[in-house]
Amino acid sequence: MPVVPEARMERTLRKLEHQQKATTRYRSIEQRMDETGETHVINMMGVPAMIVAMKV
C-alpha cells in the first residue's frame, strides 16, 4: 500500500476540519430557521442569502 505524503495528509486534515466547522454552522442556522420559521438568512452584507442544508 502506498504511503500518503505528509503535506497531502495535512491538507486533507485541514479541509476536514473546515468542513466540520461549516457543518456545525449550517446545522445551527437550520435549527434556528426551524425554531423561528425563517425561510432565509440575512448575510453580513444585509442581503438575503439562501442556505441549503441537507439533513443527514
Reduce the DSSP state of residue 43 to 3 states and report it: coil
How crowded is residue 38: how many other Cβ atoms within 10 Å of its Cβ?
Answer: 12
- pTM as predicted: 0.58
Amino acid identity, position 46: G
Our count of domains for the chain comes to 1
Please, which residues bridge with residue 42 across strands? 48
Q: In this structure, is residue 12 part of a structural domain?
A: yes
Q: Which domain holds residue 14?
A: 6-49
Q: Extract the C-alpha cell encoding 12.
A: 486533507
Instruction: Note whether 41 and 51 are within 8 A (CB).
Output: yes
Q: In this structure, is residue 36 part of a structural domain?
A: yes
Q: In this structure, is residue 55 part of a structural domain?
A: no
Q: In this structure, is residue 28 part of a structural domain?
A: yes
Span 6-47, pLDDT tens digits: 999 999 999 999 999 988 988 888 888 888 887 766 655 555
